[in-house]
């Protein structure tokens, strides 16, 4: 079985999509459905995740990401369909799978009244992990200086890092992370990206959900975009972006040209000035840049192609849904 675009944790932007042979499926899902009353939380979902892949699930609030993950993890029963996890069925709860998978839930919970170090050591001990190794994981997520702080007193982001450490402490071959960076500051996010890239490069499969498009683009081999219980698209981020026929946006300082003058430039499709920037959309960016350059109007120029965010909004719509 060949999975197009799987690059084992490498980032690629633009250029031909590489393809590597990945023999085994770590996860295989077919005809999966889960309803809560009238809500179809998961509605006929099918996909496969290759061994060593970094797989992302994106979708608006309520799309069904957590429900889908929890069914695959063996925490929820599906109404219909099949799940194979490392070749085994996760439901009814399969204890043989537990040491092989790491799970970070969207809402983290800990043993009460333990410090961060005790917490991680206790989690680790359930899997026979030595205390030193647990302490090293605490270091890896940047919590060593909080080792003696009780979990109730950790900040939201620190608690989240601890819950990620708990998911990784026993060296699982497959890791599920449900919005792991939701409460993290930019430094902690980047640090976690490094941790996740490293564990993926070591051959572990990572499945994560995120609302951050840059995160999905930076980390994931393939991304499934979900909405209303269904997978709308599933491809490498670069292929999703290339498949979107979106214009390039060229912005220069506001007032550099009048919008009407900008619209008349060779190659320009549209232009608008919001008082901060004059943004020109075009499908022929080199013609526009050349024209701006000829007018000596390149002050503060920025050129932005379509991003995964454009793909996401194109597929799931722009209106806000509660
Ligand atoms: N235990 C439950 N009982 C009833 N409805 C539920 C339950 N869990 C989820 N739902 C509903 O199922 C749908 C999918 O929820 P889910 O939590 O899977 O979405 P999500 O994509 O993870 O959203 P978010 O981005 O907000 O985390 C929602 O409409 C939600 O209200
Ligand atoms: Mg969720």
Provide φ and ψ at 243, rounded to 5°.
Answer: -70, -15
Which pLDDT score, from 0 to 100, does residue 10 have? 40
Q: What is the DSSP string of 179-210?
A: STTTT--HHHHHHHHHHHHHHHHTT-EEEEE-
d(CA 78, CA 34): 5
Instruction: Determine if ligand 1 sits within 6 Å of the CB of residue 102.
Output: no
pLDDT-based confidence at residue 262 (cuts at 50, 70, 90): very high
Residues 172 and 225 in one domain: yes
Residues with CB under 5 A from ligand 2 (ion): 65-66, 106
Q: For the chain, what percent of residues have pLDDT higher than 70?
A: 91
Q: Please report, for residues 12, 213, 270, 308, the alpha-carbon distance to residue 236 in angstroms, rounded to integers and kept in the order given.
A: 9, 13, 30, 10
Residues 51 and 127 in one domain: yes
What is the count of structural domains for the chain? 2
Q: Is 319 domain-assigned?
A: no
Q: Is 1 domain-assigned?
A: no
Residues 170 and 209 in one domain: yes
Residues 265 and 231 in one domain: no
pLDDT-based confidence at residue 322 (cuts at 50, 70, 90): low
Q: Is 318 domain-assigned?
A: no
Give 56-95 pLDDT, tens digit per residue. Answer: 999 999 999 999 999 999 999 999 999 999 999 999 988 9
Q: For the chain, what percent of residues have pLDDT higher than 90?
A: 70
Q: Whose CA is nearest to atom 30 of ligand 1?
A: 62
87: left (phi over 0), alpha (psi -120 to 50) or beta: left
Q: Is 321 domain-assigned?
A: no
Q: Is 181 domain-assigned?
A: yes
Give 210-256 pLDDT, tens digit per residue. Answer: 999 889 999 999 999 999 999 999 999 999 988 887 889 999 999 99
The two structure tokens encoding residue 178? 């449900």
Q: Is 268 domain-assigned?
A: yes
Q: What 8-state DSSP symbol labels residue 117?
A: H
pLDDT-based confidence at residue 183 (cuts at 50, 70, 90): confident
Instruction: Determine if ligand 1 sits within 6 Å of the CB of residue 63.
Output: yes
Please compute the mean of the pLDDT values over residues 41-45 and round it to a whole number. 97
Ligand found nearest the CA of 77: 1
Residues 217 and 131 in one domain: yes
Give 158-178 pLDDT, tens digit per residue. Answer: 998 999 999 999 999 999 999
Residues 144 and 217 in one domain: yes
Q: How many C-beta atoms surround the C-beta of residue 284 within 10 A?
A: 16
pLDDT of 321 > 90? The answer is: no
Q: How many C-beta atoms surround the C-beta of residue 280 within 10 A?
A: 29
Q: What 8-state DSSP symbol labels residue 311?
A: H
Q: Is 276 domain-assigned?
A: yes
Q: What is the pTM of this model?
A: 0.84
Give me the domain span that covers residue 95.
10-242
d(CA 207, CA 193): 13
Residues 299 and 180 in one domain: no
Give 191-215 pLDDT, tens digit per residue. Answer: 889 989 999 999 999 999 999 988 9
Residues 66 and 130 in one domain: yes
CB 201 within 8 A of CB 193: no
pLDDT of 303 > 50? The answer is: yes
Residues 284 and 154 in one domain: no
Residue 63 belongs to domain with CATH number: 3.40.50.300
Ligand found nearest the CA of 64: 1
Residues 222 and 89 in one domain: yes
Residues 31 and 91 in one domain: yes
pLDDT of 12 > 70? The answer is: no
Q: Is 320 domain-assigned?
A: no
Residues 111 and 47 in one domain: yes
Q: Whose CA is nearest to atom 16 of ligand 1?
A: 64
């Amino acid at each position: 079985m060949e999975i197009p675009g799987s690059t084992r944790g490498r980032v690629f932007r633009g250029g031909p999509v590489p393809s590597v042979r990945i023999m085994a499926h770590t996860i295989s899902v077919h005809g999966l459905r889960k309803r809560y009353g009238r809500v179809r939380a998961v509605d006929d979902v099918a996909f496969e995740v290759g061994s060593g892949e970094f797989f992302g699930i994106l979708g608006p609030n309520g799309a069904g990401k957590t429900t889908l993950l929890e069914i695959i993890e063996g925490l929820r029963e599906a109404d219909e369909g099949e799940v194979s996890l490392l070749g085994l069925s996760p439901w009814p709860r399969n204890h043989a799978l537990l040491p092989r998978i790491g799970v970070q839930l969207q809402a983290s919970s800990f043993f009460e009244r333990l410090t961060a170090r005790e917490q991680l050591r206790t989690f680790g001990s359930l899997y026979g992990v030595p205390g030193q190794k647990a302490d090293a994981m605490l270091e890896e997520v940047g919590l060593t200086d909080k080792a003696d702080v009780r979990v109730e007193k950790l900040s939201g982001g620190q608690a989240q890092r601890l819950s990620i450490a708990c998911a990784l402490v026993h060296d699982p071959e497959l890791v599920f992370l449900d919005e792991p960076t939701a409460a993290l500051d930019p430094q902690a996010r980047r640090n976690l990206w490094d941790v996740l890239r490293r564990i993926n490069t070591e051959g572990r499969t990572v499945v994560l959900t995120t609302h951050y498009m840059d995160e999905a683009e930076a980390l994931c081999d393939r991304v499934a975009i979900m909405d209303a219980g269904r997978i709308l698209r599933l491809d490498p981020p670069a292929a999703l972006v290339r498949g979107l026929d979106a214009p390039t946006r060229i912005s220069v300082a506001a007032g550099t040209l009048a919008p009407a003058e900008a619209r008349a430039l060779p190659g320009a499709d549209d232009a608008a000035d919001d008082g901060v920037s004059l943004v020109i959309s075009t499908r022929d960016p080199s013609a526009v840049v050349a024209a701006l350059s000829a007018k000596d109007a390149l002050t503060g120029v920025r050129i932005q192609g379509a991003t995964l965010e454009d793909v996401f909004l194109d597929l799931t719509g722009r209106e806000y849904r509660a």
